[in-house]
Chains A and B, each alone.
Chain A
């Protein structure tokens, strides 16, 4: 099964200190290593803050471009991991180990098999 783990977090008001940033990066690197050791890693990235987002839609052939994310919520999409894991329990375990799970929340979404 393939899963997308979406990391939603409240964006900090002030940027983290250099030390905090380094600790977090270490944790994420360790986490990525853990995924790779299991053969579950299928990719993953951190995203720029939601303030840099642009939302695009097309209605009646008309392109609508707006500033900002889908929805103005307290928690914003901050990053993701793509997973290749045997069962939902494995995906849940992987989600629980994401450093961001301790402050934010992780949505686990099975990826649809569109036969492509």
Chain B
């Protein structure tokens, strides 16, 4: 029966086309934006190339260099489109740039003329990241644009991941692209004198993408895993292209060292497993090894920053064979440096927890309580949960139960809530018994 076999073959090919386009999207779009000088033109061109690939690859096979094929095909489609469009002259000027544009002699001559320009260079992707993550764009717009262009996630996928209506997300993308054009956000990697601020914004966006995938309790698990994978991929691009920026390497290390624990983080019933209770045998060794090596190398540059420090803390946790083996004095030291580099109530709270691990529950409780005056922590559920844990360890059951209940009232996700309720019940029972 040849017909079904053929249908089968083309279905496999369609999967392959989708996968290859997803993998190559960021590189291709980055080069096309540079060549075509326009986000929307580049996106339409890639979409056209996708249709062409669906037509041809099932019979011709996947090209040897699919990235180059996509760029070339997309560009040719852009030229076709420009020809058809009423603003032909204007767009043609855009596409042709310096290369002499001769409408009658397209393919060979034009392709050869622009061969240098067409070649995807790694800088294209870096340029695109810096453009998408410009601090003049709202963070949620940067996130959406980065995932759409560099990540190749579709608008519905991103909308699902962030639990916003598709129309809202589409609008966000349109506005961001319009601002890039209208406000003159350059398509370039910023010069050394402006790099620090701009790199901060890039790293923050990648970090937010990862957290969205890692922390949120709602949304499709598959899409969320995709966000983490995407954030790691982006962090890797930035780290590889900016070898002299220790914070870029620190971020990649932090993401790997955190992602390593993913397999042990959720119980079969969907509940969240706390770090100390996780089955460490299920942690991803390759990610831990890569992350630890990265952060060690980054720290040797002598320009310490918050991502390197957080990665170093994650590495200490990840390297402990059992929770009891955790080198808490080292973690405490790292939190103290982190607190000096980026003072924040949340970091102060983490330091207080480390104090408790090093010097005992009473010292920990005192350290936590010394932060009670901070208004932002009063509404922070982990503050109350940390306090409750120290009270529990000190056997102050009724106070512990109260503090766990405070935490419960501050909107924990389902898994945390389950954990907190167990603790409340335990503390109440022990309180009555004692």
Contact = CB atoms under 8 A, between A and B. Distances in A.
Contacts of A1: 184
Interface stretch (A17-25, A28-36, A49-57, A83-91): A83-91
Interface string A62-103: 000000000000000000000000111101110000000000
B417 to A, nearest CB: 41
Interface string B52-88: 0000000000000000000000000000000000000
- Main SS of the interface on chain B? loop
Interface residues of B, number: 11
How many A residues are at the interface, by size bracket? 10 to 19
A89 B183 CA distance: 10
B182 interface: yes
Residue in A89, A91, A92 with the greatest tally of chain B CB atoms within 10 Å? A89
A88 B186 contact: yes
Contacts of A3: 184
B194 A89 contact: yes
B182 A110 contact: yes
Given A88-B134, A92-B136, A110 B184 contact: yes
A112 B194 CA distance: 26
A104 to B, nearest CB: 19
B184 A87 contact: yes
Contact of B183 (A86, A93, A110): A110
Contacts of B184: 1, 3, 86-88, 91, 110
B249 to A, nearest CB: 24
B190 interface: yes
Given A110-B182, A110-B184, A88 B194 contact: no
Contacts of A91: 184
Interface string B336-350: 000000000000000
A87 B198 CA distance: 14
B185 interface: yes
Nearest to B135: A92
Nearest to B180: A88
Interface in B121-148: 134, 136
Contacts of A112: 182
Nearest to A110: B183
Contacts of B134: 88
Interface string B137-162: 00000000000000000000000000
A89 B136 CA distance: 9
Contacts of B188: 87
Contact of B186 (A87, A93, A108, A110): A87
A108 B182 CA distance: 12
Contacts of A93: 194
B308 to A, nearest CB: 26
A88 B183 contact: yes
Nearest to A87: B186
A78 B251 CA distance: 42
Interface in A35-56: none
Nearest to B191: A89
Contacts of B182: 110, 112
A25 B134 CA distance: 33
A94 to B, nearest CB: 12
Interface string B286-297: 000000000000
Interface in B175-202: 182-186, 188, 190, 194, 198
Scoring B182, B184, B185, B186 by chain A CB atoms within 10 A of each residue's CB, the highest score goes to B184
A113 to B, nearest CB: 9
A115 B182 CA distance: 14
A108 B134 CA distance: 14
Interface of A: 1, 3, 86-89, 91-93, 108, 110, 112
9 smallest A-B Cβ distances: which pairs?
A1-B184, A87-B186, A110-B183, A88-B184, A88-B185, A88-B183, A87-B184, A110-B182, A89-B194
18 contacts: A1-B184, A3-B184, A86-B184, A87-B184, A87-B188, A88-B134, A88-B183, A88-B186, A89-B185, A89-B186, A89-B190, A89-B194, A89-B198, A91-B184, A92-B136, A108-B136, A110-B182, A110-B184
Given A88-B184, A110-B182, 17 more contacts: A3-B184, A86-B184, A87-B184, A87-B185, A87-B186, A87-B188, A88-B183, A88-B185, A89-B185, A89-B186, A89-B194, A89-B198, A93-B194, A108-B136, A108-B183, A110-B183, A110-B184
